[in-house]
Amino acid sequence: MIKTHTLGFPRIGENRELKFALESHWRGETTEEELRATAHELRLKHWQAQIDSGLDFITVGDFAFYDQMADHIQLLGCEPARFEFKAEQSKLQRYFTMVRGKSTENHSCAHVHETWALEMTKWFDTNYHYMVPEFTSSTVFKAHTASLVEQIEQAKTLNHPIKVSLIGPLTFLYQGKSKQTGFEQFDLLEKLLPVYGQILAELKAHGIEWVQLDEPVLGLDLPGNYLAAFERSYLQLKSSSIKILLATYFSTTQGHTSPVCKLPVDGLHIDCVRAEEDLPLVLDWLPNYKVLSLGLIDGRNIWKTDLEAALNKISKTFDAGKGEVWLAPSCSLLHVPYRFNNDTTVNPQVLPWLAGAIEKLEELELLKQAAKTQLQGKTLTGALATLWNEHQTTVKQRTQSPLLNNAEVKARLAALAPTADQRGSEFAIRQQVQRERFKLPAFPTTTIGSFPQTKNIRNLRARFKKNEIDETTYWQHISQEIRQAIEFQERIGLDVLVHGEAERNDMVEYFGEQLEGFTFSANGWVQSYGSRCVKPPILFGDVSRPKAMTVDVARFAQSLSEKPVKGMLTGPVTILQWSFVRNDQARATTALQIALAIRDEVAELEAAGIGMIQIDEPAYREGLPLRKARWDEYLNWASKAFRISASPVRNDTQIHTHMCYSEFNDILPAIAAMDADVITIETSRSDMELLRGFGEFHYPNEIGPGVYDIHSPRVPGQDEIVRLIRKAAQVIPPENLWVNPDCGLKTRGWEETEAALAVMVKATQVLRDELQAENRSEKTAA
Ligand SMILES: Nc1nc2c(c(=O)[nH]1)N[C@@H](CNc1ccc(C(=O)N[C@@H](CCC(=O)N[C@@H](CCC(=O)N[C@@H](CCC(=O)O)C(=O)O)C(=O)O)C(=O)O)cc1)CN2
Ligand SMILES: [Zn+2]
């Protein structure tokens, strides 16, 4: 028997309806009811799309107003006690407080009471951010199924079989964080399981036959206690007598594939795109009475599937004696755009090669029909055969297209000198000449690049893109923004300036739009976090740089100030990681091609008189394979790609890089291997704890640990920043320390940005004065 389903569907909406509904609700323009109505409509539309394309199940439970893990915190009744929620607060209000934080002014004492949002971090190796559950020894769980049940009841109105999708208990625990020193959240498992059991029993009572429990942690090098807990956990859940489909994805289960196959569940989903090597093992080990769900359609990329190859895998599955086979995307379709059909800006030659969520569902249906036909020993005929042949022709046409190849790029990469990734001299020498050139004060202050992307700027760009204003007018306005940004930075006394990135829609898409080998969509949005989306550019062929991308803007910005203004680029690894990239060539090769393009930009910036160039690599850590065995290989080419982009410059040109959203401590040698003269990193939310690793490792180059969180409008206090810089100076040699925010300021407003940066500069002055006093007293003592 063959069935089709999807692990999840994009929830933001074809035209980002959920984003706009959320943002107007947060501005107080719509009621909770209106927001709920939009959500209801969207869910119905998305389920209907699944029915229309012939899926055997619609998936319920993948919707979330902000994030699915955040929904589970409420479903499992473990909202952290620190939020001190009152009984009269609505569930949705509490939800938004957890995910966005809150500041309440206490009028009686003029104090602002801050409630921090839950921490947000990357979901495995994706560019999607989830809200991190917080655990302590007093965490309790309690099933709150009302809103899940409400969604199920809504889905039932469509009269189609339903599969409910939930995050599994071990993934939920493991992806959370203990907020109590010495406490291991794993110890909560015994309290958590009965609540899961109760939820499953309630689903069963509502007539649900199948529940999909996502356990992507099975693709990690999972600690032994978690691995060992799988069997008894799922034995316990079995008593609910609902059928469980255990879903793994993103990575291989190798090392524990056999025990996974033997878990007491009714079905197993595996990712046949990312973990192709798992299939033969699973065919051997999975008992034939269990459902095997094959993740055959790439849920992380946008190329049409080679259905012939997929069909082959299905045949093998039946040959191995499996009775019931389900066909699915490799993972949730959350990570791809809604659809590409009709997109107005994608290169028309590339457009037929693409598949968004809707097109992927269509592929599933075609695959199911072909597999069924094959099972009956027949061949496809009629309209289906035509569809199939057209599809396969398109897929083959891509891999053979001349559009993919640029002989010059290939030749250049092949002939690259082995020293192309090396600076002229080692860091110590560079540091000296850079100090002579720039003569910066102690603790130089800077920012990470972007300033607020105001409604005005976005509007302006939208009008430019629609041809409502001409190019000259557009650049006049952008120049004005840059001028104001420079004036502001001069006024408050920052040492190293930025132009503010007003001309960029996004730090990756902007480069994708200008490089050859890329195309970009008009509407290919993917949720990044909450209501924020990105539109990953599409890298389909060999990459080259037809002309300078940032030099005019950089030269203009530098002309406005005597102080250094950093040239601002996105690095090759991040461009790779945050784009949809070709799957017909090794990622390493693609990264090196991008590196060459950035390298040329770096050289041209230097030639234009730009003395400091920042090459952002926020996705450097995120690109790390989920399995440690593959780390070295990745880090070798990733650091090389960065160095190739950063190395064409003189010793007195200062290369900066920036990283955020990551746990840096396990890849410090690889960060040092990038050999940037200065690195700025996000550290404030960890209270500088992340910096300690850099100190213990004796990180050799200069470093700017973030001194305030940019995710909240809150203006930091001067004392707070002074304390953080002091803390940093205990682990990093003070002469190597810079002072800066955690990340770019594009999501902030101007008011809080001006205030926060002014405080940062004042706080730095306090430390400079201290340092001077110390130096003076040292001299006297000597
Ligand atoms: N690619 C990428 N990944 C990343 C990050 C990143 O910066 N880029 N940062 C981290 C995630 N952080 C993020 C922070 C902010 C936004 C963000 O603000 N996104 C914007 C869209 C950014 C964008 O492309 N803006 C376009 C405008 C797009 C748009 O919505 N235009 C409106 C019109 C706007 C108007 O009239 O005012 C429309 O088309 O309807 C532009 O500036 O040109 C949003 O969701 O609102 C996304 C991710 C990690 N991953
Ligand atoms: Zn950043």
Q: Which atom of ligand 1 is nearest to the CA of 19?
A: 45
**Ligand 1 atom 39: residue of nearest CA:** 462
Identify the nearest ligand to the CA of 682 by its number. 2
Task: Assign 250 to helix, strand or coil.
Answer: coil
Q: Would you say 732 and 707 are in contact if contact means Cβ atoms under 8 Å apart?
A: no
Q: Which atom of ligand 1 is nearest to the CA of 743?
A: 9
Identify the nearest ligand to the CA of 748 by its number. 1
The structure tokens 């502001």 sit at 488
Q: How buried is residue 316: exposed, middle or buried, by Cβ count under 10 Å (0-12/13-18/19+)?
A: middle
Q: pLDDT at position 93, please?
A: 96
Q: Would you say 698 and 742 are in contact if contact means Cβ atoms under 8 Å apart?
A: no
Q: How buried is residue 751: exposed, middle or buried, by Cβ count under 10 Å (0-12/13-18/19+)?
A: exposed
Q: Is 684 annotated as a binding residue?
A: no
Choose which residue among 458, 461, 709, 742 to substitute to test ligand 1 binding: the one with the highest number of ligand atoms within 8 A of its C-beta. 458
Give the distance (Å) from ligand 1 centre to CA of residue 157: 35
Consecutive 10-residue runs of the chain (782 residues): their mean pLDDT?
Answer: 97 98 98 98 98 98 98 98 93 96 64 79 95 98 98 98 98 97 97 98 98 98 97 96 97 96 98 97 97 98 98 96 96 98 94 98 98 94 96 97 98 97 98 98 98 97 96 98 98 98 98 98 97 98 98 98 98 98 97 98 98 98 96 98 98 97 88 97 84 91 95 91 95 96 97 97 97 84 70
Q: What is the DSSP letter of 500?
A: B
Give the distance (Å) from ligand 2 centre to CA of residue 684: 12
Q: Is 450 annotated as a binding residue?
A: yes
Q: How many whole angstroms separate alpha carbon 214 and alpha carbon 295?
A: 13
Pairing relation of β-strands 516-519 and 538-544?
antiparallel
Q: How many whole angstroms separate alpha carbon 317 and alpha carbon 384?
A: 23
Q: Is 449 annotated as a binding residue?
A: yes
Q: How many whole angstroms separate alpha carbon 225 and alpha carbon 686?
A: 26
Residues in contact with 593: Cβ distance below 8 Å, sequence separation at least 6, in sequence order = 409, 413, 517, 542, 543, 544
Q: How many whole angstroms separate alpha carbon 343 and alpha carbon 523?
A: 7
Q: Which atom of ligand 1 is nearest to the CA of 744?
A: 7
CB atoms within 10 A of CB 455: 8
The structure tokens 């889905």 sit at 155
Give the distance (Å) from ligand 2 centre to CA of residue 172: 26
Residues in contact with 441: Cβ distance below 8 Å, sequence separation at least 6, in sequence order = 495, 768
**Ligand 1 atom 23: residue of nearest CA:** 505
Give the distance (Å) from ligand 2 centre to CA of residue 705: 12
Q: Would you say 61 and 373 are in contact if contact means Cβ atoms under 8 Å apart?
A: no
Q: Is 109 annotated as a binding residue?
A: no
Q: How many whole angstroms separate alpha carbon 691 and alpha carbon 708?
A: 14
Closest of 623, 10, 588 to residue 299, by C-alpha: 10
Q: What is the DSSP letter of 424?
A: S
**Ligand 1 atom 16: residue of nearest CA:** 532
Could you tell me the domains of the chain?
2-80+122-399 (3.20.20.210), 447-773 (3.20.20.210)
Give the distance (Å) from ligand 2 centre to CA of residue 63: 28
Q: Would you say 272 and 296 are in contact if contact means Cβ atoms under 8 Å apart?
A: yes
Closest of 253, 76, 256 to residue 169, by C-alpha: 76
Q: Is 331 annotated as a binding residue?
A: no
Q: Which atom of ligand 1 is nearest to the CA of 461?
A: 43
Q: Is 501 annotated as a binding residue?
A: yes
**Ligand 1 atom 25: residue of nearest CA:** 505
Q: Is 621 annotated as a binding residue?
A: no
Give the distance (Å) from ligand 1 centre to CA of residue 534: 5
- Report CA torsion sign: 503, 506, 509, 512: positive
Task: Assign 497 to helix, strand or coil.
Answer: strand
Choose which residue among 20, 506, 621, 712 to substitute to test ligand 1 binding: the one with the highest number of ligand atoms within 8 A of its C-beta. 506
Q: Which atom of ligand 1 is nearest to the CA of 661?
A: 49
Q: Which atom of ligand 1 is nearest to the CA of 535?
A: 24
Q: Which residues line ligand 1 (CB under 6 A)?
A: 127, 453, 455, 458-459, 461-462, 505-508, 528, 532-535, 578, 747
Choose which residue among 534, 573, 682 to substitute to test ligand 1 binding: the one with the highest number of ligand atoms within 8 A of its C-beta. 534
Identify the nearest ligand to the CA of 742 by its number. 2
The alpha-carbon radius of gyration of the chain (Å, integer) is 27
Spell out the alpha helix ranges (H) of 339-426: 357-375, 382-400, 407-414
Q: What angle do CA 519, 525, 530 make, to 5 degrees?
A: 145
Model ipTM value: 0.97
Return the H-helix or E-strand segment holding 208: none
Whole-number Cα distances in Å, 196 to 125, 148, 401, 728: 26, 13, 50, 43
Task: Assign 194 to helix, strand or coil.
Answer: helix
Q: Residue 5: phi, psi to the nearest 5?
A: -160, 170
Q: Is 532 annotated as a binding residue?
A: yes
Closest of 80, 82, 91 to residue 177, by C-alpha: 80
Please report, for the chain, how many H helices and E strands are present, in that order. Answer: 26, 24
**Ligand 1 atom 35: residue of nearest CA:** 459
Q: How many whole angstroms separate alpha carbon 27 and alpha carbon 91?
A: 18
Q: How many whole angstroms separate alpha carbon 29 and alpha carbon 299?
A: 35
Q: Would you say 438 and 767 are in contact if contact means Cβ atoms under 8 Å apart?
A: no
Q: Would you say 338 and 13 are in contact if contact means Cβ atoms under 8 Å apart?
A: yes
Q: Is 356 annotated as a binding residue?
A: no
**Ligand 1 atom 11: residue of nearest CA:** 528
Pairing relation of β-strands 58-60 and 162-167?
parallel
Give the distance (Å) from ligand 2 centre to CA of residue 221: 27
Q: How many whole angstroms separate alpha carbon 413 and alpha carbon 745?
A: 36
Choosing from 46, 269, 391, 711, the catalytic residue is: 711
Q: pLDDT at position 108, please?
A: 57
Q: What is the DSSP letter of 2?
A: E
Q: Would you say 546 and 588 are in contact if contact means Cβ atoms under 8 Å apart?
A: no
Give the distance (Å) from ligand 1 centre to CA of residue 515: 20
Whole-number Cα distances in Å, 112 to 94, 104, 109, 115, 209: 19, 6, 9, 10, 49
Q: Could you report how far apart the first and last alpha carbons of the chain are, in Å?
A: 87
256 is catalytic: no
Identify the nearest ligand to the CA of 659 by its number. 2
**Ligand 1 atom 40: residue of nearest CA:** 462
Identify the nearest ligand to the CA of 746 by its number. 1
Determine the distance from the C-alpha atom of residue 781 to the mean position of all C-alpha atoms in its chain, rounded to a whole number.
Answer: 53
Q: How many whole angstroms separate alpha carbon 343 and alpha carbon 58?
A: 26
β-bridge mates for residue 121, sequence order: 130
Q: Residue 598: phi, psi to the nearest 5?
A: -70, -40
Task: Assign 638 to helix, strand or coil.
Answer: helix
Q: Which atom of ligand 1 is nearest to the CA of 536?
A: 1
Give the distance (Å) from ligand 1 centre to CA of residue 504: 10
**Ligand 1 atom 38: residue of nearest CA:** 462
Q: How buried is residue 407: exposed, middle or buried, by Cβ count under 10 Å (0-12/13-18/19+)?
A: exposed
Q: Would you say 335 and 9 are in contact if contact means Cβ atoms under 8 Å apart?
A: no
